[in-house]
Amino acid sequence: MVPNSETSPAVPEAPPIEFNIGDTIFYPAQGAGVVEELTTREILGETKEYMRLSFIRGDLDVLVPLDKGEEVGLRHTFKADEAKELTTLLVESSVELPEQWPPRHRFELEIIARAESKELAGLIATLTRRDLERGLADTERDIMEKAKEMLATEFAAVQGITLETAKAHVKKTLEAHQS
């Protein structure tokens, strides 16, 4: 039987994420940043509301339609009181990765695409341990470095520190727990 609206209960939709000026945000393609401005623009004869986002990495500003933020992967960063937990996850958590390379690589890329803080921390921890135990191929090392960069931008935005300081924090945390 194929479910339809008459036989299946409706799944309530989650309310859309709201973004306001000053919010720290995370955009998977660019990392963390801040909502600098809400503005209305007319483009191709259509008037829409936009957010001007300023990113930690690359001194880049981007306009994103206010109603498309969630659709393009924009999310709020972790909260300041979660920084300690994420630092702990960098060394104590793990992600169960497939042994075979193609499915493992796909799985790692999916984590990068979702760009969820706790998953990134788990991936970094897992790949760091794997590197110590048996080494990483260049492709997998690139994924680990991308995850570190993404998480560092989030630490920088949330804690109000420079990207270099955030990268150093991630690096020191990992080095302190290597054996």
Instruction: Read off the pLDDT band of 1 (50, 70, 90).
Output: very low
Strand blocks (E) in 5-45: 24-27, 31-43
Q: What is the pLDDT of residues 18-41, one digit of tens each?
A: 889 999 999 988 999 999 999 999
Instruction: Please check the confidence at residue 103 and state whether its pLDDT lies above 70.
Output: yes
Residue that is written with structure tokens 């969820």 in the block: 116
Within 10 angstroms of residue 87's Cβ, the number of other Cβ atoms is 17
Q: What CA–CA distance (Å, rounded) separates 61 from 35?
A: 10
CATH of the domain at 66: 2.40.10.170
- In this prediction, residue 127 carries a pLDDT of 96
Q: Judge whether 1 lies within some domain.
A: no
Say if residue 164's pLDDT is above 70.
Answer: yes
Q: 72 with 90, same domain?
A: no
Q: What is the pLDDT of residue 57?
A: 86
Domain that holds residue 33: 24-76
Considering its fold, how many domains does the chain have in total?
2
Between CA 59 and CA 132 the distance in angstroms is 34
Task: Assess whether 137 and 112 both reside in one domain.
Answer: yes
Which phi and psi angles does 50 have, rounded to 5°?
A: -130, 155
> pLDDT tens, 29-87?
899 999 999 999 998 899 999 999 999 987 788 999 988 888 888 999 999 999 999 99
* pLDDT of res. 177: 81
pLDDT at 75: 93
Residue 115 lies in a domain: yes
Same domain, 126 and 164: yes
Residues 135 and 158 in one domain: yes
Domain assignment present for residue 19? The answer is no
Of 14, 48, 76, the one marking the end of a domain is 76
